[in-house]
Amino acid sequence: MLVGAGIIVVAAFASVLLLWLCGRDVIPRNRVVGIRLPALLASDAAWRAGHSAAVGPAGAGALVGALVFAVSALGRSDSVVEPILVVIVMIGALGWAAVVAVRAARHAPSDSQREAVDHTRDARPLASVEITRSGGLILAAIVAWAPPVIVAVHRLLHPVLPTRVPSHWTFDGRIDDSVPAVTAFWVCLGVGALGAAAVTAFVVFVGDDIGRVSGSIGLGSLTVLTGSFALMWITAVTAAETPSTSVFLLVPVGVLIGALVFVLATIRRPV
């Protein structure tokens, strides 16, 4: 578990360095690396301003994640909770960084010559000061809250819980670790709520500037990952009573919710 958390922390610091290089224009405006949202691709000035603003939030997330990792390593903890906390911090920090970057890019001074970036698959204007939000995006943000809401309702309907619930399965489906039920509930609910909050933040602060295809895939994928993890709470409670329960019991539900978020996010108003 700690190895995976360590890899995530290293990747987070590498991302901070990448953002800093883009902000310094060492890595110029491109569609391969960096924050490739239309607001930042609108001009060289927007590219620099957006990435420079994102360094702070991303760096803060990397430092907090490193702190959690260090405490776990020093305590020689092999619990699943610490790596999950690192993932939560990273998701929150990157979402915060993206929102801050877009806001900074929108207020960046215009270049003397605003050359359009080749965008063969999306003919929308690259950026605008006014934030527009299509109805599909708003519905996508609402649907993204389904997994944490389902988990919360399940908890209300099942007030009596087992003391511990499974937290890890072997490749052949055997349960080989468990955690306190209360801890599992709050971790699962927290991850699901964080993912939904990130989707909502993108819709509120970025709006239709999110790429119609690539951006919608990102929102849908985030919902699949965090939503499926949140729904693991129901799987864990079920497995505590029926050990033969598959770890993938509700993953299809998370995938379906994420797919719905993707489809809704692609529905944009004509421009």
pLDDT of residue 121: 42
Residues 6 or more apart whose Cβ sits within 8 Å of residue 182: 161
Do residues 127 and 44 lie in contact, with contact meaning Cβ atoms separated by under 8 Å? no
pLDDT in tens, 242-265: 888 888 889 999 999 999 999 999
What pTM was estimated for this model as a whole?
0.70
Q: State how far the Cα of 118 lies from the Cα of 87, in Å rounded to an integer.
A: 34
Helix, strand, or coil here: 17? Answer: helix
pLDDT of residue 123: 41
What are the DSSP E strand ranges found in 76-213? 164-169, 175-180
Give buried/exposed letters for 215-235 (b at 16+ CB in 10 A, else e). bbebbbebbbbbbbbbbbbbb
Residues 6 or more apart whose Cβ sits within 8 Å of residue 75: none
Please provide the distance, in angstroms rounded to a whole number, between the alpha carbons at the two ends of the chain: 47
- Work out the angle at residue 83's Cα, subtended by the Cα atoms of residues 82 and 85, and round it to the nearest 5 degrees: 65
Q: Which residues of the chain have pLDDT under 70?
A: 1-5, 72-83, 110-130, 270-271
In Å, what is the CA distance from 72 to each residue of 3, 132, 168, 184?
Answer: 11, 43, 18, 18
